Amino acid sequence: MKVTKKTFEERRVQSINPKTAQLLIDQVSHELYNHNLYRTFANYFAVKGLHKLEEYYISRANEELTHHQWIVDRLNYADVSYKYPEIPAVNVDIEDEEDTFLQTVDKEIETTALIYNIVETAEKEKDWETVKWLQDTLVDEQTEEEHISRKFLKIARQDTDWVTKEDYILSEYQAGEEADGQ
Residues 6+ apart with CB under 8 A from 20: 118, 121, 122, 125, 127, 130
pLDDT at 93: 97
Across all residues in the chain, what is the average pLDDT?
92
Q: How many domains does the chain have?
A: 1
Residues with Cβ within 8 Å of 65's Cβ and at least 6 positions away in sequence, in order, are 31, 32, 35
- The CATH number covering residue 152 comes to 1.20.1260.10
Q: Which domain holds residue 154?
A: 22-84+97-179
pLDDT of residue 10: 58
Mean pLDDT of 22-29: 98
Q: Please say if the pLDDT value at position 88 is more than 80.
A: yes
74 domain residue, yes or no: yes
d(CA 64, CA 31) in angstroms, rounded, equals 5
Q: Looking at the domain assignment, is residue 160 inside a domain?
A: yes
Which of the four pLDDT bands, split at 50, 70 and 90, describes residue 181? low
- Does 62 fall in a domain? yes
Residue 11 has pLDDT above 60, yes or no: no
Rounded to two decimals, the pTM is 0.90
In a domain? residue 7: no
